[in-house]
Chains A and B, each alone.
Chain A
Amino acid sequence: QLLLQESGSGLVKPSQTLSLTCTVSGTFISSGAYSWSWIRQPPGKGLEYIGYIYHTGRAFYNPSLKSRVTISIDGSKNQFSLKVNSVTAADTAVYYCARVGDAYRFDYWGQGALVTVSS
């Protein structure tokens, strides 16, 4: 069974860098069959696509976040990661990692990790 699990700091100070890792079990992310994504949801609000990455390391980002976001992948650990620079309170959200299946469907999701930006 495919499982995804987010981990990382739950509290980040303004202007600092948010870092999260998604550990995948049940498949090898380096197989190349799928890509791997990050999606976030501010409290009480809707879903926002952040970006996704292929096993090759090629990544695509939401244009509105592109200048502050980096997604990377480590096939040896079966993990992919998210970094968001220069965070503000507006970056407070539940961050989900998800598999991107055929036809750009997000078919498997992690449980989500709440990240709060506060001093």
Chain B
Amino acid sequence: QSALTQPASVSGSPGQSITISCTGTSGDIGNYYLVSWYQQHPGKVPKLIIFEVTKRPSGVSDRFSGSKSGNAASLTISGLQDEDEANYYCCSFAGSGHVIFGGGTKVTVL
């Protein structure tokens, strides 16, 4: 199975909102409400920021929100801040114990 499709890069100015798309298939995103998102700063460990499409772990800013429609999911970062500059990865359960990650999106704060 191929990786989920994400844009290579997204940019925005401080205070703006940006949305990262994550496109899969009816076998993964389209069939399960089990999408998660990870933030990874350069040289650091990935951090869970969204799970089960819309839920945030304790301690994660409410500026991060997730959604899903059909075979695609999205991560929105509102009130963009310098610290949000990082790589973001979507992830979906794909059945039979299989999990797929997206290729990653580099977010740049202008």
Contact = CB atoms under 8 A, between A and B. Distances in A.
Contact of B89 (A47, A104, A110): A47
A62 B98 contact: yes
Contacts of A51: 97
B52 A111 contact: no
Contacts of B97: 51-52, 60-61
Given A46-B3, A46-B89, A63-B1, A105 B48 contact: yes
A90 interface: no
Given A60-B96, A60-B98, A106-B36, A47 B46 contact: yes
A101 B91 CA distance: 14
B103 A103 contact: no
A85 B74 CA distance: 36
Interface string A86-119: 0000000000100001111111011110000000
A49 interface: yes
B36 A111 contact: no
Interface residues of A, number: 24
A74 interface: no
B77 to A, nearest CB: 19
B39 to A, nearest CB: 12
B99 A49 contact: yes
Contacts of B46: 47, 96, 106, 109
Contacts of A105: 36, 48, 51-52, 57
Given A46-B89, A47-B89, A63-B98, A106 B104 contact: no
A46 B57 contact: no
A114 B100 CA distance: 22
Interface in B43-94: 45-48, 51-52, 55, 57, 89, 91, 93
B89 A103 contact: no
Interface of A: 39, 46-49, 51-52, 60-64, 96, 101-107, 109-112
Given A39-B101, A47-B104, A96-B46, 11 more contacts: A46-B103, A47-B46, A47-B89, A48-B101, A49-B100, A64-B1, A103-B33, A103-B51, A104-B91, A106-B48, A109-B47
